[in-house]
Chain A
Amino acid sequence: MRLLEYQAKELFKEYGIRVPDSIASKDIESGRKDAEKIGYPFVIKAQVPVGGRGKAGGIQKCHNEDEFELKYPQVLNMSIKGEKTRAVLLEKMSEYEKEIYLSLFLNRSKRCYTIISSAEGGVEIESVKDQVIREVGSGDVTKKVAEEVAKEIGLDENSIPHFVDILQKLSKLTVEKEAELTEINPLVILKDGSMMALDGKIMTDDNSNFRHKELAEYHEQTELEKKAEESGFSLVELDGNIAVIGNGAGLVMSTLDMLTDNGGKAACFLDVGGTATEESVYEALTLISKMKNVKAVLVNLYGGIVKTTIVASAFLKAYDDKIIILPVFARLMGSESEKSKEMLKDSETKLSPSIEEAINKAVMEVNK
């Protein structure tokens, strides 16, 4: 999961990495109390699980109460790249000399953790020049390696011990919390050479959630995402009007690509898992029925081992039980597809021999 900035900073603090004074809130009443505690001026920061919020106006300076009353609701109610603000962080403004970049990330092709650091910080990593990159195996960073990185990015004697300390703490956090990425950007150098994390980003490995109960409170899910997870599905909610269901992540992504190429807009990505069963398809339709704005359902199943007649009976059952009333456009690959077609011929589910045809029909339906 991707932690919000304030959550990342809570972990930084826990590991002894200095962060500015800040308080997060979810409504303006609490925000007003926080403002008094922090004291003007401060920065109002939208807490969203995507990058690029600065450019989108999600970070605002605030000098007095009037500004606060105006800007807090703005930031609280904004959406950045389709993501609503989850919380608002009020943070004391800091004076510093310099911004640098530091992260530890899971290097997938090298199968090891990698440090990236640069004397240039505060911008997106892609545009950072002169990156120092160092592979560190399973993520432990020795004092020696940390010192070498500090020297390579050109820190002065005064700052080196502070950098080493922070990097080693970040490494401990990364390994213990099983993070795929921990990033401090910018890490700022203060007048006395000490350092502070001004922003933070942490991505943890969802598959290790079961041994990190302490992170459970950070696991923000919508009602539907929770239901999907309970059924063993993967769900990503999107802003279109055609619900996309399939079995296997690759196949569903592929369906989403083709739908978009043909002018359709997906309402969701729903992967019921590699093996489709009557129960899983029925449950998937139940989930879809709870979504707003859906006008049609597009189903792409590669049956393989499963008989398509089993899936066809799931559709029929869903209509019988009045779970769905939406038109379904389906392509079922697998055995007994002729028989399935016969079963569904009087229903609201239209079978197509190819996914291309099913997509065209679904797009025509929503544009009617």
Chain B
Amino acid sequence: MTDIFELLKGKQNSEGDFQKQPVIVQGITGKFGMRHTKLMMEYGTNIVAGVTPGKGGQKFEDAVPIYETVKEAVDKTGAKISIMFVPAKFFLGAAKDALEAGIKLLVAIPEHVPVQDTMKIVEIAKQKGAIVIGPNTPGVMIPGLIKIGIMPASPFKFGNTAVLSKSGTLLYEIGNNLSSSGFGQCITIGIGGDPINGTRLVDAFDMVKDYPNLDGIVVVGEIGGDAEEVLAQKIIDENFEKPVVAYIAGRKAPKEKRMGHAGAIVMGNYGSAESKITMFSKANIPVAKKPVEVPILLAGKMEKK
């Protein structure tokens, strides 16, 4: 599997610094894309090119060249990472464009992408050996080094905890709780709130579990689907020993109603919070009742080690 840390960090130079990995922005000229491109650049992310069909040849902020296609942008910059801000109905075309141009990490921000479109992109990504994060994700970041997404910078500090989340704002909330309790993060991955994810919770776990300095993993789940149950089973099967704690949103949500996220819906027992909490407890993973409890549970888990 493609190593996400290597993709994001690049190789260390002779002074021990990481080279800034080049990143392309698809949909750089939209209001949302422009705003977050600026914020990512302020954070230090190395944005090298934008893509907006019909605007090739222009420059973003007089600095970042804009191309017609991802292929052109990749040919000119050698970037392997792209972040996408296009409207949901253009996701399929834009994602194909990116993966066929050789992008190895595609962060798909758009919400409301049809499930069948995501499934098609999942298949192409498998063939190409690429990672797709999202759609409907806040993105991915290594605090202090690189931010590819729409998350605010302030909640996150560098450290050795990995945070995997279905939700955006809850990721910020829990990130903030962790940072202020001294648990910095080595990576945060928003997998997104859709029924079908380019990177599933188990895939995100596989990406972080062998990180050398990893102290623990925080899983921010929510009702809908069975991603949490499958992850819990994997943690049992692999006998993963580092501390894992979880939070599940939607314990008191009514059944058969979509709670904001396309994927947050309980059908019968499928997707219920009880089912997730039961599986987590089988895997010896404590589940916080509210976001502020997460660092307390994590500290407890670490003490027991």
Among residues 229 to 245 in chain A, which have CB atoms less than 8 Å away from a CB atom of chain B? 234, 236, 238
- The minimal Cβ–Cβ distance linking B171 to chain A, given in whole angstroms, is 8
Report the Cα distance A305→B169, complex, angstroms.
11
* Contact bitstring A261-285, B, C-beta under 8 A = 1, else 0: 1000000010100110000000000
Judged by a CB distance under 8 angstroms, whether A252 is at the interface is yes
Comparing A29-37, A106-114, A142-150, the segment that makes contact with chain B is A106-114
Comparing A10-18, A65-73, A93-101, A206-214, the segment that makes contact with chain B is A206-214
Judged by a CB distance under 8 angstroms, whether B124 is at the interface is no
Judged by a CB distance under 8 angstroms, whether A224 is at the interface is no
Judged by a CB distance under 8 angstroms, whether B263 is at the interface is yes
Q: Which A residue's beta carbon lies closest to that of B39?
A: A305
> In the bound complex, do residue B290 and residue A254 qualify as a contact, i.e. CB atoms below 8 Å apart?
yes
Comparing B18-26, B44-52, B114-122, B296-304, the segment that makes contact with chain A is B114-122
Judged by a CB distance under 8 angstroms, whether B16 is at the interface is no
> Which residues of chain A have C-beta atoms less than 8 A from B291's C-beta?
254
> In the bound complex, do residue B260 and residue A207 qualify as a contact, i.e. CB atoms below 8 Å apart?
no
Q: Which A residue's beta carbon lies closest to that of B261?
A: A249
Judged by a CB distance under 8 angstroms, whether A332 is at the interface is no
> In the bound complex, do residue A108 and residue B250 qualify as a contact, i.e. CB atoms below 8 Å apart?
no
> Which residues of chain A have C-beta atoms less than 8 A from B88's C-beta?
207
Report the Cα distance A205→B196, complex, angstroms.
11
Comparing B4-12, B58-66, B220-228, B235-243, the segment that makes contact with chain A is B220-228
Among residues 159 to 174 in chain B, which have CB atoms less than 8 Å away from a CB atom of chain A? 165-173
- The minimal Cβ–Cβ distance linking A102 to chain B, given in whole angstroms, is 16
Interface size range of chain B in the complex:
35 or more
Of B114, B155, B171, B292, most A-chain CB atoms within 10 Å:
B114
Interface size range of chain A in the complex:
35 or more
- The minimal Cβ–Cβ distance linking B127 to chain A, given in whole angstroms, is 14
> In the bound complex, do residue B195 and residue A250 qualify as a contact, i.e. CB atoms below 8 Å apart?
no
Judged by a CB distance under 8 angstroms, whether B217 is at the interface is no
> Which residues of chain A have C-beta atoms less than 8 A from B166's C-beta?
250
> In the bound complex, do residue B169 and residue A108 qualify as a contact, i.e. CB atoms below 8 Å apart?
no
Q: Which B residue's beta carbon lies closest to that of A178?
A: B116
* Contact bitstring A248-260, B, C-beta under 8 A = 1, else 0: 1111111011111
> Which residues of chain B have C-beta atoms less than 8 A from A274's C-beta?
138, 150, 168-169
Contact check: which of A248, A257, A304 meets B155 at CB < 8 Å? Answer: A304
> Which residues of chain B have C-beta atoms less than 8 A from A304's C-beta?
151-152, 154-155, 169, 172
Report the Cα distance A206→B173, complex, angstroms.
28
Q: Which A residue's beta carbon lies closest to that of B114?
A: A208
> In the bound complex, do residue A261 and residue B259 qualify as a contact, i.e. CB atoms below 8 Å apart?
no
Judged by a CB distance under 8 angstroms, whether A344 is at the interface is no
Report the Cα distance A106→B229, complex, angstroms.
16
> Which residues of chain A have C-beta atoms less than 8 A from B173's C-beta?
251, 254, 302, 333
Report the Cα distance A36→B243, complex, angstroms.
67
> In the bound complex, do residue A247 and residue B268 qualify as a contact, i.e. CB atoms below 8 Å apart?
no
* Contact bitstring B90-126, A, C-beta under 8 A = 1, else 0: 0000000000000000000000111110010010000
Among residues 73 to 129 in chain A, which have CB atoms less than 8 Å away from a CB atom of chain B? 81-82, 106, 108-109, 111-112, 124-126
16 pairs from A and B in contact (CB 8 Å cutoff): A82-B254, A109-B226, A181-B267, A205-B262, A206-B258, A207-B114, A208-B114, A234-B258, A236-B254, A250-B166, A253-B249, A253-B250, A257-B251, A302-B169, A305-B39, A356-B292
The 9 closest A-B CB pairs, nearest first, are A250-B167, A249-B260, A248-B169, A304-B152, A250-B170, A108-B225, A208-B114, A260-B252, A271-B260
Since A250-B166, A250-B170, A256-B250 are in contact, a sample of 15 more A-B pairs with Cβ atoms closer than 8 Å, ordered by chain A residue number, is A2-B256, A109-B227, A203-B267, A207-B112, A236-B258, A246-B169, A250-B249, A253-B249, A253-B259, A254-B290, A257-B252, A257-B253, A261-B252, A304-B151, A305-B39
CB within 8 Å of A: which residues of B?
39, 88-89, 112-116, 119, 122, 138, 150-152, 154-155, 165-173, 176, 193, 195-196, 200, 202, 220, 222-227, 229-230, 247, 249-264, 267-269, 289-292
